[in-house]
Amino acid sequence: MTDEKKGTGEGEKGVTRRQFITSMGTAAAVAAVSGRVTAAAEKEQAVLPAEKLSKITLLINGRRYKLAVEPRWSLLYVLRERIDLTGTKVGCERGECGACTVLIDGLPRYACMALAVEAEGSEITTVEGLLNGDELGPVQQAFVDEDAFQCGYCTPGQIMAAEGFLRVNPNPSLDEIRRAMSGNMCRCGSYAHIFKAVRRAAELKRGRRG
């Protein structure tokens, strides 16, 4: 009986092997949780609160806008709700449909996937920026000429995608047009007319340059 008690440590003073292992495990768990809490607190301090406003200046369609924005606001939200440029449409808001396409430094981008604070220092062009006074731009005119829409909701995004593409490739083939426009959805299924419109826009642009 004496040997058994010594083996288990029951009835003895001091710390048993089982107690030691349990206490060490508890201490390690506490240290791990404490480390995670500290890291989370440091991370929270590094992130600006959602309601804290940042002052930025955006260059949109050749005009500068001084704004106070929340860091979480998308460029799409700021364009529509703070500057009232509603030609840029709200679609999926997750970078899939292309309805919100704008040009950032000449390249097509989904405005729903770009933060307004990230766009500071860049040149932003919306569908309104393609107008020359009351005159339609060549891409806009081509979409009218080729009847390249039905409901028209996706049309501003389609036009901006085509505009950005034709600035890089002014004389594209039909296959190149199809690939370039593949990031923009038309739920009405007007793709054949859209492709014709992009080809027509290329002709109009070349005519203006010539």
Look up the pTM and report it: 0.76
pLDDT at 123: 98
By the 10 Å C-beta count (0-12 exposed, 13-18 middle, 19+ buried), 60 is classed as buried
pLDDT at 207: 86
pLDDT at 7: 44
- Phi and psi based region of residue 104 (left: phi greater than 0; alpha: psi -120 to 50; beta: remaining): beta
Alpha helices, H only, the chain: 2-8, 17-46, 75-77, 138-145, 155-168, 174-180, 191-209
**DSSP-assigned letters across all residues of 114-127:** SBTGGGTTSEEE-G
Q: How many CB atoms lie within 10 A of CB 162?
A: 30
Q: Rounded to 5 degrees, what angle do the CA atoms 78, 106, 198 make?
A: 105
Element (H, E) at 109: strand 107-110
Q: Which residue in 134, 133, 135, 187 sits closest to 157, CA to CA?
A: 187
Structure tokens at 35: 């480390």
Residue 63 bridge partners (DSSP): 60
Structure tokens at 52: 């804290």
pLDDT at 39: 57
Structure tokens at 154: 């996706």
Matching residue, tokens 């054949």: 192
Q: Could you say which DSSP state residue 182 is in?
A: T
What does the pLDDT profile of the chain (210 residues) look like in tens digits? 444 444 444 444 555 656 655 655 665 555 555 566 555 555 555 555 666 899 999 999 999 999 999 999 999 999 999 999 999 999 999 999 999 999 999 999 999 999 999 999 999 999 999 999 999 999 999 999 999 999 999 999 999 999 999 999 999 999 999 999 999 999 999 999 999 999 999 999 998 765
